[in-house]
Structure 1
């Protein structure tokens, strides 16, 4: 894994009998004092933590879900994270409408029961798993197809761009493998939606904002811009790759998040980059979240001769 990692202290996971062997009294067990409850029959012991790798971008929600997942897997062998939970652990950009506070886990045992507030159990006939940063998780291809039931096509495209790209985490699968999975899996829910989404997913996309901008252009019946077209800039003797562009017309679209404005270094680098592209004969349109999209559409149409 090439992405940098941090390490977090996870409490030891104990059964009730193990907690008692470490000196927990009946009151400790009932009240959760010293050995707080993780799941029925499972306790945490903060006095003997173990370090586990976590992504540098992981927040308290990520850490809490990872800790609970470890506890459930200890109490219920064979349990794996799935759906929204797995997507969050992978670092995929879920839309606000599909964000769930529940921990979604899956098992292959059709008779399995897990009765715990905040945990949703899914029983699956075919359960393919992978270990992700020491966590038991459903394979990314299955997770992606599960999300079709709670995500729009646009959201699936954004997630797909992230999953095959190099965003928060290394690529989880290739576009070729995703296409084969969708076409080759029997009894796949929301197959038409998945097929439409897969047809719009592109490689080498750097951020959700780039995906949004590209899908916006398609929705306005504009030609689909190329992701990261190669532009040789002789004044710096480098090949630059603007976010999106129309190579034949030499028009580049550059999305600039707030960090482009607040970082003095990034601001200077952006100016040098735009100057190099302009001298190479390209026109650069800079886009932010506050850009007037109607005017942006008019500008693109005018430049491409689509008026």
Structure 2
């Protein structure tokens, strides 16, 4: 499993207006100074008091702002958790663009709970399963994933699921076995058939959504499903390499090259060494990028697999 380093960022402490007054602040101080920045109605951030919070190295300013607002809202409304799209963003899952908005989605088990604030959506949850994720109150990953089913296509669910059970941005947040058990055992599950279809296509050890997209495209084109990260011993380097996707019997490897592979000289050199080692081991390597001609790619794969062209 890869290590996922964290940064530590000082979050200003959330406090109520009453708590600010108890610390000696006047109403003028609360309204007009930069020390008490507004977080929500009745809640301020005390810029003179902060706590160090773990933040993923991949997190951007938007992630930090969302985490801080969640802390402020949980200070004012104890028991609420991040859910749906907000929880997915905090977990680092690859949401489709249509769902990656600025709304803070919160969940509560209290059927009478109300939060009336622009930019916040409150969802009343029958079963509130909470975890502490990077010191944040977040709905457990499994029900969070299930919440996304009515909002996503099966393809998007597979991309999210591959990320959740994989090890590319964060450690695995649930296993494929636990997902299947959750879908099977949970009553009143919306879009159950969509979740079941996605679970059949989710694979562990996937590196990126682009890799997922390539694998699903191959299946949709009627090609055999490739193995994720097949083990290939390369005698010239005395190493076992794991190409992105492969067909071990036909000794065909598919390597997806993102922009980072193109603009990083070190990564480019590493990629060349990998391809040379795989080829020296007798494997054919087909490199795939965002703008690859998929029709030609399909013809090349079919030819190598000995399949009839379409």
Task: State the match for 2:238 in structure 1.
Answer: 237
CA–CA separation in structure 2 for the residues paired with 1:267 and 1:219: 30
Matched, 1:300 2:301: yes
TM-score, normalised to structure 2, is: 0.96
Q: Is the 8 A contact 1:80 1:137 kept in 2?
A: yes
Task: State the match for 2:183 in structure 1.
Answer: 182
Task: State the match for 2:168 in structure 1.
Answer: 167
CA distance change for structure 1 residues 108 and 158 in 2, over 3 Å: closer, same or farther?
Answer: same
CA–CA separation in structure 2 for the residues paired with 1:43 and 1:279: 62
Q: Is the 8 A contact 1:225 1:246 kept in 2?
A: yes
CA–CA separation in structure 2 for the residues paired with 1:115 and 1:260: 46
Q: Which runs of 5+ in 2 are unaligned?
A: none
Task: State the match for 2:227 in structure 1.
Answer: 226
Q: Is the 8 A contact 2:17 2:30 kept in 1?
A: yes
CA–CA separation in structure 1 for the residues paired with 2:164 and 2:31: 43
Task: State the match for 2:84 in structure 1.
Answer: 83
CA–CA separation in structure 1 for the residues paired with 2:259 and 2:117: 41
Task: State the match for 2:286 in structure 1.
Answer: 285
Matched, 1:191 2:192: yes
CA–CA separation in structure 1 for the residues paired with 2:267 and 2:3: 23
Task: State the match for 1:260 in structure 2.
Answer: 261
CA–CA separation in structure 1 for the residues paired with 2:32 and 2:107: 29
Task: State the match for 1:200 in structure 2.
Answer: 201
Q: Is the 8 A contact 2:88 2:144 kept in 1?
A: yes
Q: Could you report, residue by residue, the CA deviation over 1:129-182 in whole angstroms, capped at 9, with x for unpaired residues?
A: 000010000000000000012111001000000001111111100000011001
Q: Is the 8 A contact 2:34 2:47 kept in 1?
A: no
Matches of residues 99-110 of structure 1 in structure 2 within 5 Å? Answer: 99-110=100-111
What is the Cα deviation at residue 25 of structure 1? 2.2
RMSD: 1.3
CA–CA separation in structure 1 for the residues paired with 2:261 and 2:203: 24
Q: Is the 8 A contact 1:24 1:35 kept in 2?
A: no
Q: Could you report, residue by residue, the CA deviation over 1:40-60 in whole angstroms, capped at 9, with x for unpaired residues?
A: 221111011221111111111
Q: Which runs of 5+ in 1 are unaligned?
A: none
Q: Is the 8 A contact 1:232 1:240 kept in 2?
A: yes
CA–CA separation in structure 1 for the residues paired with 2:197 and 2:94: 19
Q: Is the 8 A contact 1:163 1:171 kept in 2?
A: yes
Q: Could you report, residue by residue, the CA deviation over 1:169-222 in whole angstroms, capped at 9, with x for unpaired residues?
A: 111000000110011100000000000000000011111111011011011111
Count of aligned pairs? 307
Q: Is the 8 A contact 2:109 2:128 kept in 1?
A: yes
Q: Could you report, residue by residue, the CA deviation over 1:16-52 in whole angstroms, capped at 9, with x for unpaired residues?
A: 1111122322234445753122222211110112211
Q: Is the 8 A contact 1:8 1:53 kept in 2?
A: yes
CA–CA separation in structure 2 for the residues paired with 1:79 and 1:37: 20
Q: Is the 8 A contact 1:91 1:168 kept in 2?
A: yes
CA–CA separation in structure 2 for the residues paired with 1:51 and 1:274: 43
Task: State the match for 2:28 in structure 1.
Answer: 27
CA–CA separation in structure 2 for the residues paired with 1:124 and 1:20: 35
Secondary structure, counterpart of 2:286 in structure 1: strand
Matches of residues 7-18 of structure 1 in structure 2 within 5 Å? Answer: 7-18=8-19
